[in-house]
Structure 1
Amino acid sequence: MAQSTAKRTRAPQMPPEERKKQLLRAGISCFAGKGIGGTKHADLARACGVSVPAVFSYFPNREALVESLLEEVGHSFFENIVTPALALPAEEQLRATAPLYMAFAEKEPDYVKVWLMWSMHFAPEIQAQYRAFESRLVDALSKMFTEEVFSAADPDDIQDRARMIIASSAFLAKMVFDGVSEKRREAFVQHVLQPLTQPPSSN
Protein backbone atom coordinates (compact mmCIF):
# COMPACT_ATOMS: atom_id res chain seq x y z
CA MET A 1 0.00 0.00 0.00
CA ALA A 2 1.49 3.32 -1.06
CA GLN A 3 2.13 5.72 1.74
CA SER A 4 2.15 9.44 1.03
CA THR A 5 4.54 11.59 2.97
CA ALA A 6 3.92 15.28 3.26
CA LYS A 7 7.08 17.27 2.85
CA ARG A 8 7.46 20.56 4.55
CA THR A 9 8.06 23.33 2.04
CA ARG A 10 11.17 25.30 2.85
CA ALA A 11 11.51 28.94 1.99
CA PRO A 12 13.97 29.67 -0.82
CA GLN A 13 17.34 31.04 0.18
CA MET A 14 17.58 34.83 0.24
CA PRO A 15 20.30 37.35 1.03
CA PRO A 16 19.86 38.58 4.62
CA GLU A 17 18.70 42.05 3.57
CA GLU A 18 16.03 40.64 1.27
CA ARG A 19 14.88 38.21 3.95
CA LYS A 20 14.57 41.04 6.45
CA LYS A 21 12.45 43.03 3.99
CA GLN A 22 10.22 39.98 3.49
CA LEU A 23 9.83 39.56 7.25
CA LEU A 24 9.03 43.24 7.73
CA ARG A 25 6.31 43.15 5.08
CA ALA A 26 4.86 39.95 6.54
CA GLY A 27 4.98 41.44 10.03
CA ILE A 28 3.10 44.55 8.95
CA SER A 29 0.41 42.36 7.37
CA CYS A 30 0.18 40.43 10.65
CA PHE A 31 -0.07 43.69 12.61
CA ALA A 32 -2.89 44.83 10.33
CA GLY A 33 -4.78 41.56 10.83
CA LYS A 34 -3.98 40.64 14.43
CA GLY A 35 -3.06 43.95 15.97
CA ILE A 36 0.25 45.16 17.34
CA GLY A 37 -0.22 43.23 20.57
CA GLY A 38 -1.34 40.00 18.93
CA THR A 39 1.57 39.39 16.56
CA LYS A 40 4.41 37.03 17.49
CA HIS A 41 7.62 35.83 15.89
CA ALA A 42 5.85 32.59 14.98
CA ASP A 43 3.35 34.51 12.83
CA LEU A 44 6.15 35.93 10.70
CA ALA A 45 7.83 32.53 10.49
CA ARG A 46 4.61 30.92 9.28
CA ALA A 47 3.93 33.68 6.73
CA CYS A 48 7.43 33.48 5.24
CA GLY A 49 7.99 29.72 5.51
CA VAL A 50 11.01 30.02 7.78
CA SER A 51 11.78 28.74 11.26
CA VAL A 52 10.96 30.73 14.37
CA PRO A 53 14.68 30.88 15.33
CA ALA A 54 15.36 32.43 11.92
CA VAL A 55 12.96 35.27 12.76
CA PHE A 56 14.62 35.73 16.14
CA SER A 57 17.97 36.10 14.37
CA TYR A 58 16.62 39.33 12.84
CA PHE A 59 14.50 40.49 15.78
CA PRO A 60 16.01 39.10 19.01
CA ASN A 61 13.00 39.91 21.20
CA ARG A 62 9.45 41.20 20.96
CA GLU A 63 10.50 44.79 21.63
CA ALA A 64 12.92 44.71 18.69
CA LEU A 65 10.24 43.16 16.48
CA VAL A 66 7.64 45.82 17.26
CA GLU A 67 10.12 48.69 17.03
CA SER A 68 11.44 47.50 13.65
CA LEU A 69 7.98 47.03 12.15
CA LEU A 70 6.76 50.45 13.27
CA GLU A 71 9.98 52.04 12.05
CA GLU A 72 9.33 50.47 8.65
CA VAL A 73 5.81 51.95 8.59
CA GLY A 74 7.16 55.41 9.40
CA HIS A 75 9.90 55.10 6.80
CA SER A 76 7.36 54.09 4.15
CA PHE A 77 5.18 57.12 4.96
CA PHE A 78 8.06 59.47 4.31
CA GLU A 79 9.30 57.57 1.27
CA ASN A 80 5.89 57.45 -0.44
CA ILE A 81 4.24 60.69 0.69
CA VAL A 82 6.47 63.29 2.33
CA THR A 83 9.64 63.02 0.25
CA PRO A 84 7.84 63.12 -3.15
CA ALA A 85 5.76 66.11 -2.00
CA LEU A 86 8.82 68.02 -0.80
CA ALA A 87 10.43 67.53 -4.21
CA LEU A 88 7.69 69.67 -5.83
CA PRO A 89 7.57 73.48 -6.05
CA ALA A 90 6.68 75.02 -2.69
CA GLU A 91 3.19 76.09 -3.73
CA GLU A 92 2.28 72.52 -4.79
CA GLN A 93 3.68 70.54 -1.88
CA LEU A 94 0.87 70.63 0.65
CA ARG A 95 -1.93 69.83 -1.82
CA ALA A 96 0.15 66.99 -3.28
CA THR A 97 0.19 65.13 0.03
CA ALA A 98 -3.48 64.10 -0.22
CA PRO A 99 -3.33 62.26 -3.58
CA LEU A 100 0.01 60.72 -2.59
CA TYR A 101 -1.51 59.55 0.70
CA MET A 102 -4.63 58.12 -0.97
CA ALA A 103 -2.51 56.29 -3.54
CA PHE A 104 -0.39 54.85 -0.73
CA ALA A 105 -3.52 53.74 1.18
CA GLU A 106 -4.82 51.98 -1.94
CA LYS A 107 -1.48 50.35 -2.74
CA GLU A 108 -0.37 49.49 0.81
CA PRO A 109 -3.51 49.40 2.98
CA ASP A 110 -1.82 47.34 5.70
CA TYR A 111 0.80 50.04 6.24
CA VAL A 112 -1.85 52.70 6.71
CA LYS A 113 -3.94 50.47 8.99
CA VAL A 114 -0.89 49.85 11.18
CA TRP A 115 -0.14 53.58 11.23
CA LEU A 116 -3.68 54.23 12.50
CA MET A 117 -3.27 51.58 15.22
CA TRP A 118 0.14 52.98 16.13
CA SER A 119 -1.20 56.52 16.49
CA MET A 120 -3.77 55.35 19.06
CA HIS A 121 -1.59 52.88 20.97
CA PHE A 122 -0.88 53.91 24.54
CA ALA A 123 1.81 51.46 25.65
CA PRO A 124 4.60 53.84 26.78
CA GLU A 125 7.38 52.56 24.49
CA ILE A 126 5.09 52.43 21.43
CA GLN A 127 3.65 55.85 22.20
CA ALA A 128 7.15 57.32 22.55
CA GLN A 129 8.14 55.93 19.14
CA TYR A 130 4.98 57.36 17.59
CA ARG A 131 5.58 60.79 19.10
CA ALA A 132 9.05 60.88 17.54
CA PHE A 133 7.58 59.94 14.15
CA GLU A 134 4.73 62.43 14.49
CA SER A 135 7.14 65.22 15.42
CA ARG A 136 9.07 64.63 12.18
CA LEU A 137 5.82 64.54 10.22
CA VAL A 138 4.54 67.78 11.79
CA ASP A 139 7.85 69.49 11.00
CA ALA A 140 7.73 68.31 7.39
CA LEU A 141 4.13 69.44 6.87
CA SER A 142 4.84 72.78 8.54
CA LYS A 143 7.56 73.47 5.97
CA MET A 144 5.07 72.93 3.15
CA PHE A 145 2.99 76.00 3.97
CA THR A 146 4.10 78.61 1.45
CA GLU A 147 6.38 81.31 2.79
CA GLU A 148 4.46 84.11 1.06
CA VAL A 149 1.30 83.30 3.02
CA PHE A 150 2.74 82.17 6.32
CA SER A 151 6.10 83.93 6.59
CA ALA A 152 4.99 85.99 9.60
CA ALA A 153 2.81 83.33 11.20
CA ASP A 154 3.31 82.01 14.71
CA PRO A 155 5.21 78.68 14.43
CA ASP A 156 2.78 77.14 16.92
CA ASP A 157 -0.13 78.10 14.65
CA ILE A 158 1.57 76.44 11.67
CA GLN A 159 2.23 73.27 13.65
CA ASP A 160 -1.40 73.16 14.79
CA ARG A 161 -2.48 73.33 11.14
CA ALA A 162 -0.12 70.45 10.34
CA ARG A 163 -1.61 68.41 13.19
CA MET A 164 -5.12 69.05 11.85
CA ILE A 165 -4.06 67.64 8.49
CA ILE A 166 -2.69 64.53 10.21
CA ALA A 167 -5.90 64.13 12.22
CA SER A 168 -8.12 64.42 9.14
CA SER A 169 -6.02 61.86 7.28
CA ALA A 170 -7.37 59.13 9.57
CA PHE A 171 -10.88 59.67 8.23
CA LEU A 172 -9.57 60.03 4.68
CA ALA A 173 -8.02 56.57 5.01
CA LYS A 174 -11.38 55.20 6.14
CA MET A 175 -12.98 56.71 3.04
CA VAL A 176 -10.41 54.92 0.87
CA PHE A 177 -10.97 51.59 2.64
CA ASP A 178 -14.76 51.99 2.45
CA GLY A 179 -14.63 52.54 -1.31
CA VAL A 180 -15.89 56.13 -1.22
CA SER A 181 -15.71 57.70 -4.67
CA GLU A 182 -12.68 59.72 -5.69
CA LYS A 183 -14.91 62.76 -6.23
CA ARG A 184 -16.16 62.70 -2.63
CA ARG A 185 -12.67 62.10 -1.29
CA GLU A 186 -11.35 65.08 -3.23
CA ALA A 187 -14.21 67.21 -1.89
CA PHE A 188 -13.32 66.15 1.66
CA VAL A 189 -9.69 67.14 1.07
CA GLN A 190 -10.77 70.56 -0.19
CA HIS A 191 -12.99 71.10 2.87
CA VAL A 192 -10.00 70.33 5.09
CA LEU A 193 -7.34 72.30 3.23
CA GLN A 194 -9.33 75.39 2.25
CA PRO A 195 -9.46 76.96 5.75
CA LEU A 196 -6.05 75.64 6.75
CA THR A 197 -4.30 77.32 3.83
CA GLN A 198 -5.81 80.74 4.52
CA PRO A 199 -3.46 83.32 6.07
CA PRO A 200 -3.78 83.65 9.84
CA SER A 201 -5.99 86.45 11.09
CA SER A 202 -4.14 89.61 12.06
CA ASN A 203 -6.51 90.12 15.00
Structure 2
Amino acid sequence: MGDDAGVTVEKKSPGVWQVGVDPVAARPRRRNAPRLPPDERRTQLLDAALRVVEGDGLAQLTMQAVAREAGVAKPVLYALYPTAPELVAALLHREHARGMAQMLRAMPEDLRGTDPDEEFVTAALAFLQAVAAVPGRWRLILMHADGAPADYRSLLAVAREDLTARYLELLRTGFAIRGGPEGADLELIGTAMVGFMEVLGRMVLTDPQRFPPERLESTVRSLLRTLPPARERG
Protein backbone atom coordinates (compact mmCIF):
# COMPACT_ATOMS: atom_id res chain seq x y z
CA MET A 1 0.00 0.00 0.00
CA GLY A 2 3.06 2.30 0.08
CA ASP A 3 2.36 3.52 -3.46
CA ASP A 4 -1.14 4.63 -2.42
CA ALA A 5 0.09 7.23 0.11
CA GLY A 6 -1.75 10.49 -0.49
CA VAL A 7 -4.49 8.90 -2.64
CA THR A 8 -8.09 9.81 -1.73
CA VAL A 9 -11.31 8.08 -2.74
CA GLU A 10 -14.54 10.05 -2.43
CA LYS A 11 -18.08 8.80 -3.10
CA LYS A 12 -19.77 11.39 -5.33
CA SER A 13 -23.10 9.56 -5.94
CA PRO A 14 -24.43 6.00 -5.80
CA GLY A 15 -22.03 3.90 -7.77
CA VAL A 16 -19.77 6.87 -8.64
CA TRP A 17 -16.45 7.30 -6.89
CA GLN A 18 -13.77 9.97 -7.44
CA VAL A 19 -10.11 9.10 -7.03
CA GLY A 20 -7.79 11.98 -6.23
CA VAL A 21 -4.56 12.99 -4.50
CA ASP A 22 -4.39 14.65 -1.10
CA PRO A 23 -1.95 17.55 -1.74
CA VAL A 24 -0.79 17.65 1.90
CA ALA A 25 -0.20 13.92 2.24
CA ALA A 26 1.45 13.72 -1.17
CA ARG A 27 3.90 16.52 -0.44
CA PRO A 28 7.49 15.16 -0.15
CA ARG A 29 8.54 14.96 3.46
CA ARG A 30 11.49 17.03 4.54
CA ARG A 31 14.45 14.84 5.19
CA ASN A 32 15.73 15.16 8.72
CA ALA A 33 19.34 16.10 9.34
CA PRO A 34 21.45 12.99 9.95
CA ARG A 35 21.86 12.06 13.58
CA LEU A 36 25.15 13.17 15.06
CA PRO A 37 26.73 12.66 18.48
CA PRO A 38 26.11 15.73 20.70
CA ASP A 39 29.70 16.99 20.49
CA GLU A 40 29.69 16.83 16.69
CA ARG A 41 26.29 18.48 16.56
CA ARG A 42 27.49 21.31 18.81
CA THR A 43 30.47 21.85 16.53
CA GLN A 44 28.19 21.89 13.49
CA LEU A 45 25.82 24.39 15.06
CA LEU A 46 28.52 26.71 16.38
CA ASP A 47 30.31 26.62 13.02
CA ALA A 48 27.02 27.65 11.41
CA ALA A 49 26.59 30.42 13.99
CA LEU A 50 30.07 31.71 13.21
CA ARG A 51 29.22 31.85 9.50
CA VAL A 52 26.09 33.85 10.32
CA VAL A 53 28.19 36.29 12.36
CA GLU A 54 30.72 36.60 9.53
CA GLY A 55 27.97 37.59 7.14
CA ASP A 56 25.58 39.61 9.29
CA GLY A 57 27.24 40.44 12.62
CA LEU A 58 26.52 39.24 16.14
CA ALA A 59 23.39 41.38 16.45
CA GLN A 60 21.73 39.37 13.67
CA LEU A 61 22.51 35.97 15.19
CA THR A 62 19.05 34.38 15.51
CA MET A 63 18.04 30.79 16.15
CA GLN A 64 16.26 30.68 12.80
CA ALA A 65 19.30 31.97 10.93
CA VAL A 66 21.60 29.40 12.58
CA ALA A 67 19.22 26.49 11.97
CA ARG A 68 18.90 27.51 8.32
CA GLU A 69 22.67 27.87 7.92
CA ALA A 70 23.28 24.47 9.56
CA GLY A 71 20.57 22.81 7.47
CA VAL A 72 18.69 21.45 10.49
CA ALA A 73 15.21 21.85 11.92
CA LYS A 74 14.94 24.31 14.79
CA PRO A 75 14.12 21.58 17.35
CA VAL A 76 17.57 20.10 16.67
CA LEU A 77 19.13 23.43 17.60
CA TYR A 78 16.88 23.98 20.63
CA ALA A 79 17.75 20.52 21.96
CA LEU A 80 21.34 21.67 22.58
CA TYR A 81 20.89 25.43 22.94
CA PRO A 82 17.44 26.12 24.38
CA THR A 83 17.78 29.92 24.13
CA ALA A 84 19.56 32.41 21.89
CA PRO A 85 21.66 33.81 24.79
CA GLU A 86 22.97 30.30 25.51
CA LEU A 87 23.93 29.88 21.85
CA VAL A 88 25.63 33.28 21.78
CA ALA A 89 27.54 32.53 24.99
CA ALA A 90 28.72 29.16 23.68
CA LEU A 91 29.92 30.73 20.42
CA LEU A 92 31.69 33.64 22.13
CA HIS A 93 33.51 31.45 24.62
CA ARG A 94 34.58 28.92 21.99
CA GLU A 95 35.93 31.55 19.64
CA HIS A 96 37.61 33.43 22.48
CA ALA A 97 39.42 30.26 23.58
CA ARG A 98 40.51 29.49 20.04
CA GLY A 99 41.64 33.05 19.41
CA MET A 100 43.71 33.19 22.58
CA ALA A 101 45.33 29.87 21.66
CA GLN A 102 46.29 31.35 18.28
CA MET A 103 47.78 34.41 19.97
CA LEU A 104 49.84 32.34 22.38
CA ARG A 105 51.11 30.11 19.56
CA ALA A 106 52.22 33.20 17.64
CA MET A 107 54.25 34.54 20.57
CA PRO A 108 57.75 33.10 20.96
CA GLU A 109 58.42 31.09 24.11
CA ASP A 110 62.09 31.94 24.48
CA LEU A 111 64.04 34.76 22.83
CA ARG A 112 67.50 33.52 23.82
CA GLY A 113 69.64 32.82 20.78
CA THR A 114 67.26 34.70 18.46
CA ASP A 115 66.87 38.10 16.85
CA PRO A 116 64.10 39.67 18.97
CA ASP A 117 63.10 42.06 16.17
CA GLU A 118 62.57 39.22 13.69
CA GLU A 119 60.68 37.24 16.30
CA PHE A 120 58.35 40.20 16.79
CA VAL A 121 57.74 40.57 13.06
CA THR A 122 57.10 36.84 12.69
CA ALA A 123 54.65 36.84 15.59
CA ALA A 124 52.87 39.94 14.29
CA LEU A 125 52.41 38.43 10.82
CA ALA A 126 51.20 35.15 12.31
CA PHE A 127 48.58 37.08 14.27
CA LEU A 128 47.44 39.10 11.24
CA GLN A 129 47.25 35.98 9.09
CA ALA A 130 45.10 34.31 11.77
CA VAL A 131 42.78 37.33 11.67
CA ALA A 132 42.52 37.13 7.88
CA ALA A 133 41.92 33.36 7.94
CA VAL A 134 39.00 33.43 10.43
CA PRO A 135 37.60 36.97 10.32
CA GLY A 136 34.37 36.03 12.12
CA ARG A 137 36.31 34.87 15.17
CA TRP A 138 38.46 37.96 15.35
CA ARG A 139 35.55 40.30 14.77
CA LEU A 140 34.12 38.90 18.00
CA ILE A 141 37.42 39.54 19.79
CA LEU A 142 38.60 42.83 18.28
CA MET A 143 35.25 44.44 17.36
CA HIS A 144 32.89 43.01 19.95
CA ALA A 145 30.61 45.95 20.73
CA ASP A 146 27.72 44.81 18.51
CA GLY A 147 25.64 42.86 20.99
CA ALA A 148 28.25 41.05 23.09
CA PRO A 149 27.14 40.57 26.72
CA ALA A 150 28.95 42.35 29.53
CA ASP A 151 30.47 39.18 30.99
CA TYR A 152 32.12 38.44 27.64
CA ARG A 153 33.59 41.93 27.46
CA SER A 154 34.98 41.38 30.95
CA LEU A 155 36.49 38.08 29.81
CA LEU A 156 38.18 39.84 26.90
CA ALA A 157 39.55 42.53 29.20
CA VAL A 158 41.11 39.95 31.51
CA ALA A 159 42.58 38.03 28.56
CA ARG A 160 44.04 41.22 27.13
CA GLU A 161 45.71 41.98 30.46
CA ASP A 162 47.19 38.48 30.55
CA LEU A 163 48.49 38.73 26.98
CA THR A 164 49.94 42.17 27.65
CA ALA A 165 51.74 40.84 30.72
CA ARG A 166 53.15 37.98 28.64
CA TYR A 167 54.28 40.42 25.98
CA LEU A 168 55.95 42.69 28.55
CA GLU A 169 57.89 39.71 29.85
CA LEU A 170 59.14 38.99 26.32
CA LEU A 171 59.86 42.68 25.74
CA ARG A 172 62.10 42.85 28.81
CA THR A 173 64.02 39.81 27.58
CA GLY A 174 64.26 41.28 24.08
CA PHE A 175 65.61 44.60 25.36
CA ALA A 176 68.17 42.75 27.44
CA ILE A 177 69.38 40.98 24.27
CA ARG A 178 69.21 43.79 21.71
CA GLY A 179 69.35 46.88 23.89
CA GLY A 180 66.94 49.77 23.55
CA PRO A 181 66.39 53.46 24.17
CA GLU A 182 67.89 54.70 27.43
CA GLY A 183 65.33 55.16 30.18
CA ALA A 184 62.65 53.43 28.12
CA ASP A 185 59.39 52.77 29.95
CA LEU A 186 58.80 49.16 28.96
CA GLU A 187 55.28 49.05 30.34
CA LEU A 188 54.21 51.99 28.18
CA ILE A 189 56.05 50.64 25.13
CA GLY A 190 54.54 47.16 25.53
CA THR A 191 51.01 48.44 26.04
CA ALA A 192 51.33 50.72 23.01
CA MET A 193 52.64 47.88 20.85
CA VAL A 194 49.75 45.60 21.84
CA GLY A 195 47.33 48.39 20.95
CA PHE A 196 49.17 48.91 17.66
CA MET A 197 48.70 45.25 16.73
CA GLU A 198 45.01 45.44 17.59
CA VAL A 199 44.63 48.41 15.24
CA LEU A 200 46.35 46.49 12.43
CA GLY A 201 44.06 43.52 13.10
CA ARG A 202 40.99 45.76 12.74
CA MET A 203 42.36 47.10 9.47
CA VAL A 204 42.59 43.53 8.14
CA LEU A 205 38.99 42.92 9.24
CA THR A 206 37.44 46.08 7.88
CA ASP A 207 39.22 46.16 4.50
CA PRO A 208 41.02 42.86 3.81
CA GLN A 209 41.60 43.63 0.14
CA ARG A 210 43.28 46.92 0.90
CA PHE A 211 45.15 45.79 4.01
CA PRO A 212 46.30 42.17 3.65
CA PRO A 213 48.79 40.98 6.31
CA GLU A 214 51.68 41.04 3.83
CA ARG A 215 51.20 44.74 3.15
CA LEU A 216 51.36 45.52 6.87
CA GLU A 217 54.75 43.86 7.41
CA SER A 218 56.63 47.06 6.52
CA THR A 219 54.47 48.97 9.02
CA VAL A 220 55.41 46.50 11.76
CA ARG A 221 59.09 46.90 10.91
CA SER A 222 58.75 50.68 10.94
CA LEU A 223 57.49 50.48 14.52
CA LEU A 224 60.64 48.63 15.53
CA ARG A 225 62.78 51.39 14.00
CA THR A 226 61.40 53.74 16.64
CA LEU A 227 63.14 51.52 19.23
CA PRO A 228 66.78 51.57 18.10
CA PRO A 229 68.96 48.85 19.63
CA ALA A 230 71.94 49.85 21.76
CA ARG A 231 74.45 49.43 18.95
CA GLU A 232 72.76 52.20 16.93
CA ARG A 233 72.94 54.81 19.66
CA GLY A 234 75.64 57.41 19.44
TM-score, normalised on structure 1?
0.75
Q: 1:139 aligns with which of 158, 165, 168?
A: 165
Structural mapping, 1:45-194, within 5 Å: 45-87=67-109, 89=111, 91=116, 93-118=119-144, 124-149=150-175, 154=185, 156-157=187-188, 158-174=190-206, 177-180=208-211, 184-194=215-225
RMSD: 3.4
When Rg is computed on C-alpha atoms for both structures, the one with the higher figure is 2
Q: What is the alpha-carbon distance in structure 2 between the residues aligned to residue 95 and residue 70 of structure 1?
A: 28
Return the structure number with greater strand share. 2
Q: Is the 8 A contact 1:82 1:97 kept in 2?
A: no
* Pairwise CA distance, 1:30: 0.9
TM-score, normalised on structure 2?
0.67
Return the structure number with greater helix share. 1
Deviates more, 1:141-150 or 1:190-199: 190-199
Deviation sequence 1:92-142 (CA, Å, 0-9, x none):
543222221232233323223333431676753443233233333323333
Gaps of 5+ in 2: 1-19, 178-182
Q: Is the 8 A contact 1:30 1:44 kept in 2?
A: yes
* Pairwise CA distance, 1:183: 5.0
Q: What is the alpha-carbon distance in structure 1 between the residues aligned to residue 27 and residue 89 of structure 2?
A: 40
Deviation sequence 1:25-64 (CA, Å, 0-9, x none):
1111111222212111222211112232332333333322
Cα pair distance change 1:28/1:18, threshold 3 Å: same
Say which SS state the counterpart of residue 120 (structure 2) adopts: helix
Q: Is the 8 A contact 1:23 1:44 kept in 2?
A: yes
Letter in 1 for 2:221: Q
Letter in 2 for 1:110: G
Cα pair distance change 1:120/1:54, threshold 3 Å: closer
Deviates more, 1:119-128 or 1:60-69: 119-128
* Pairwise CA distance, 1:181: 6.0
* Pairwise CA distance, 1:89: 4.2
Deviates more, 1:93-102 or 1:122-131: 122-131
Deviates more, 1:183-192 or 1:121-130: 121-130
Q: What is the alpha-carbon distance in structure 2 between the residues aligned to residue 167 and residue 121 of structure 1?
A: 21
Gaps of 5+ in 1: none
Say which SS state the counterpart of residue 143 (structure 2) adopts: helix
Q: Is the 8 A contact 1:119 1:130 kept in 2?
A: no
Q: Is the 8 A contact 1:82 1:140 kept in 2?
A: no
Say which SS state the counterpart of residue 138 (structure 2) adopts: helix
Match for residue 28 of structure 1? 50
Q: 2:226 aligns with which of 155, 176, 195?
A: 195
* Pairwise CA distance, 1:21: 1.3
Q: Is the 8 A contact 1:81 1:101 kept in 2?
A: yes
Say which SS state the counterpart of residue 32 (structure 2) adopts: coil
Identity %: 18
Structural mapping, 1:14-25, within 5 Å: 14-25=36-47
Deviates more, 1:18-27 or 1:105-114: 105-114
